[in-house]
Amino acid sequence: MFHSIINRSSTIVLDDIKIRLISSQDVAKITVYYQKNRAFLKAWEPVRNELFFSELGWQKRIEQIETLHRHEMAFYFVIEDRETNEIIGVINYSNLVKFPFHACHVGYSLDQDYQGRAIMRRALKETVSWMFEVKGFHRIMAAYMPHNEKSASVLYAVGFEKEGLAKDYLLIDDQWQDHVLTSLINRQWSAPVTWSAT
C-alpha cells in the first residue's frame, strides 16, 4: 500500500530513506550524485556527455523533467538518505502510455556506498505501488543486462517476471548490450475514473 500521495511537497518516508519527485531545488544534489557515481555507473548506463555531470546541465534537465511531470509523461524520483539529506538514488518511470496500453518503463540507479541494504528494493516497491494505485497503470516494464545480478535481484524481489531476452537492446557504455525483459502486472487494475475509450 502506498503511504502518501506524491506531489511537489510530500515525501514517502521509509525508515532510513525518503522518496520524492525531483524538483528544481535538487540541481546541486543530483549533480553531486552523478559526479560521485560516474565511474561506478559507467558500465550500466549510456555514454553521458560532460553537460550531464554539471549543474547547468541538470538545471536544464530538471526544467524538462518538471514539464514531463506536469503532463504526466514521466515521473523522476529521487531517494534521499534521511540523516544526510543526500540524494543516494533515482527511479525513473518513462515512456508512459495510457489507453489502451496503460504501461511504462522503469529504470533506476543507487549510490555505490549504499549497495546491499535493500534500499532500491524498498523504494521501487513503493513507487510501483503509486504507479498502480494512484496513476492507474497496468504494466511496468524493466530490462537488465544478464550479468547484472544485483538489478535482477531487485526486480524479482519486487515481483517482476522474466518475459524474454532482447538481443542488442540498448546502447550501454558505447556497446550494444543484450537485456533480459521483465514486467510487473497490476492484477488489481481497474479503469481510472477519468478513463475514456473515445
Tell me the C-alpha distance between 25 and 11, whole Å.
15
Q: In the sheet where 103-110 sits, what is the strand order? A: 12-14, 17-21, 75-81, 87-97, 103-110, 139-144, 175-185, 161-172
35, 41 Cβ separation under 8 angstroms: no
| Model confidence pLDDT, tens digit, residues 117-171 | 999 999 999 999 999 998 999 999 999 999 999 999 999 999 999 999 999 999 9
12-185: CATH architecture: 3-Layer(aba) Sandwich (3.40)
Ranking 38-42, 56-60, 118-122, 192-196 by mean pLDDT, the lowest is: 192-196
Q: What is the pTM of this model?
A: 0.91
DSSP-derived pairing of the beta strands 87-97 and 12-14: unpaired
Where are the domains positioned within the chain? 12-185
With the CA atoms of 41, 84, 21 and 39 taken in that order, what torsion angle do they form, in degrees rounded to the nearest 10?
-10
Instruction: Judge whether residue 6 has pLDDT over 60.
Output: no
Q: Please give the DSSP secondary-structure letter assigned to residue 138.
A: S
